[in-house]
């Protein structure tokens, strides 16, 4: 029975979908004004894992991840680049999808762009004004009146007076309260024409928070199962989403306990780099595409899922090298056990332990520990038992998107991609030369070749029958 840690209740809860057998999930996606970094990679990888496990568990999943394609940062970058909003965002949407494909991730079932839902946003704002939860200020902006919504603060667990205005909340004199946030931003004379839309409140554009409320409610309904995103979005973004969505539906009162905007809120932890907060100012800001120039995508995915999705993780080359070493161990266990049609035993201890871990709030570290135990058992087994265990390992790992390649394809790739590494042909020639030296009983030369290859990052392993296998470090 799946349990999910619900940020709203601050506890693990048994997962009960609104509609039996079906799950609707919305994840806050990228603001497309630059290339995606490893913080974005964690969101992508975590919720790819969540959706894969839900589907492996038999649920029919509708997975929506939005694209923010209108925002202050986008406008500023477009002006700086002297290009249109559409040109800028289209370029970085293509880059984001290329990064996702490089990581080997599924595409969301729907990937709505904010600019395609302006009408729905205006409709929700109108409902909030009718409910007397929103007002137009003297500067033309339409703001949400936070103190009039009785449930504000329930996601963050703080009283309104304890909360600080978030990073994207602009405090200006025309707001009734400094915590009020913008639903509709009045257009400024100097802003480009492609950043404004007609509305009942004059030309302008939506605020950031209303975008996700309108898109999720339009595509998934006013009540859906899971809403996910990074922990930095818990406040103010997700807090404001609840206020807008439930305010539009119920007015100033609280939503019924069985019909909240979202039933389960999930948040993945931060990424630190060499034990420091990741930031451009510190120079420790890594783009996905740059990391993948050096490391295999499966290594990055494995690194991310070795930690529990709610835990903060420290990113470093040493951590990625450790992740590679772990995958080497798993792939090595499969190296001499080709895929077969032997059915896995779903009642086996391995399957039961793995399922129990994943059903405990997607506990991937414990699930991966089961994979390592299974690999050790494969190394001790023989014959049909070995083949059945190997099939079990491939199957369980496959639900996490691991170990689906031919083992040598991974093992011979190495931990890091380097331009100066030996080619496969060069390695094979050296192995042949070593075999000839051994046949001629020139063992000093054979040992020298092995040592030279090792110095160049290539490990040789002699197997029965005179076979020599190799892998890169």
Binding-site annotation, residues for ATP = 280
Backbone CA torsion sign across 310, 311, 315, 318: negative
- Planar angle of CA 410, 411, 412, nearest 5 degrees: 95
Q: Which two tokens stand for residue 470?
A: 């190799």
Q: How far is CA 383 from CA 65, 67, 82, 380, 386, in A?
A: 45, 51, 66, 11, 5
> Element (H or E) spanning 12, and its range?
strand 11-14
Pairing outcome for strands 224-230 and 22-27: parallel
Backbone angles phi and psi of 134, in degrees to 5: -140, 155
**Bind-site residues for Zn(2+):** 28, 212, 237, 241
Q: Which two tokens stand for residue 49?
A: 């894992």
Q: Which two tokens stand for residue 241?
A: 């989403």
- How far apart are alpha carbons 263 and 265 in whole angstroms? 7
Q: Could you tell me which residues are beta bridge partners of residue 433?
A: none
Q: How far is CA 64 from CA 10, 15, 359, 407, in A?
A: 24, 19, 22, 33
* Site of tokens 């200006």: 172
Q: How far is CA 465 from CA 147, 379, 469, in A?
A: 78, 19, 12
Question: What are 371-380's contacts with CB under 8 Å, separation 24+?
Answer: 371/330, 371/396, 371/397, 371/402, 371/403, 372/326, 372/329, 372/330, 374/333, 374/350, 375/329, 375/330, 375/332, 375/333, 376/333, 378/333, 378/334, 378/337, 379/333
> Element (H or E) spanning 22, and its range?
strand 22-27
- Assess contact for 316 and 300: CB atoms under 8 A: no
Q: Which two tokens stand for residue 348?
A: 């086996």
Q: Which two tokens stand for residue 31?
A: 């603001």
| 352 three-state secondary structure | helix
- What proportions of the chain, in percent to the nearest 5, are helix, strand and coil? 45, 15, 40
**Bind-site residues:** 28, 212, 237, 241, 280
- How far apart are alpha carbons 323 and 328 in whole angstroms? 9
* DSSP state letters, 148-165: G-TTTTTTTT--GGG---
């Amino acid at each position: 029975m799946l349990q999910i840690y619900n940020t709203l209740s601050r506890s693990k809860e048994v997962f009960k979908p609104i509609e039996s057998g079906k799950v609707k999930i919305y994840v806050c996606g990228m603001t497309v004004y630059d290339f995606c970094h490893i913080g974005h990679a964690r969101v992508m990888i975590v919720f790819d894992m969540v959706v894969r496990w839900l589907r492996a568990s038999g649920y029919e999943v509708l997975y929506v991840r939005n694209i923010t394609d209108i925002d202050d940062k986008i406008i500023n970058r477009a002006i700086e680049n002297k290009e249109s909003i559409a040109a800028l965002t289209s370029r970085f949407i293509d880059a984001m999808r290329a990064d996702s494909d490089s990581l080997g991730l599924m595409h969301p079932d729907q990937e709505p762009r904010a600019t395609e839902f302006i009408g729905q946003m205006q409709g929700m704002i109108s409902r909030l004004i009718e409910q007397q939860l929103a007002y137009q200020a003297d500067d033309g902006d339409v703001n949400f009146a936070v103190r009039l919504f009785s449930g504000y603060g329930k996601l963050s667990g703080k009283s309104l007076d304890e909360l600080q205005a978030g990073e994207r909340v602009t405090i200006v004199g025309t707001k009734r309260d400094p915590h009020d946030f913008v639903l509709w931003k009045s257009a400024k004379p100097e802003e480009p024409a492609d950043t404004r839309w007609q509305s009942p409140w004059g030309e302008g554009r939506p605020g950031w928070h209303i975008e996700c409320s309108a898109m999720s409610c339009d595509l998934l309904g006013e009540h859906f199962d899971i809403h996910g995103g990074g922990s930095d979005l818990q406040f103010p973004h997700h807090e404001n989403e609840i206020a807008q969505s439930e305010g539009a539906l119920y007015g100033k009162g609280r939503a019924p306990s069985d019909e909240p905007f979202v039933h389960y809120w999930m948040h993945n932890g931060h990424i630190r780099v060499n034990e420091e907060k990741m930031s451009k100012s510190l120079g420790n800001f890594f783009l996905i595409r740059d990391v993948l120039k050096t490391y295999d995508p499966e290594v990055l995915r494995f690194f991310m899922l070795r930690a529990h999705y709610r835990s903060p993780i420290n990113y470093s080359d040493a951590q990625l090298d450790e992740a590679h070493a772990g995958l080497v161990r798993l792939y090595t266990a499969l190296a001499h056990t080709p895929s077969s049609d032997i059915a896995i035993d779903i009642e086996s201890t391995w399957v039961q332990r793995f399922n129990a871990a994943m059903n405990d709030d997607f506990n991937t570290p414990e699930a991966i520990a089961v994979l390592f135990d299974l690999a050790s058992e494969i190394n001790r087994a023989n014959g049909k038992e070995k083949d059945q265990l190997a099939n079990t390992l491939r199957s369980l790992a496959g639900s996490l998107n691991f170990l689906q390649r031919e083992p040598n394809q991974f093992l011979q790739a190495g931990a890091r991609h380097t331009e100066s590494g030996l080619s496969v042909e060069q390695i094979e020639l050296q192995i042949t030369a070593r075999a000839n030296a051994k046949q001629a009983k020139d063992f000093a030369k054979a040992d020298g070749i092995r040592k030279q290859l090792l110095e160049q990052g290539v490990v040789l392993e002699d197997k029965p029958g005179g076979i020599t296998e190799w892998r890169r470090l």
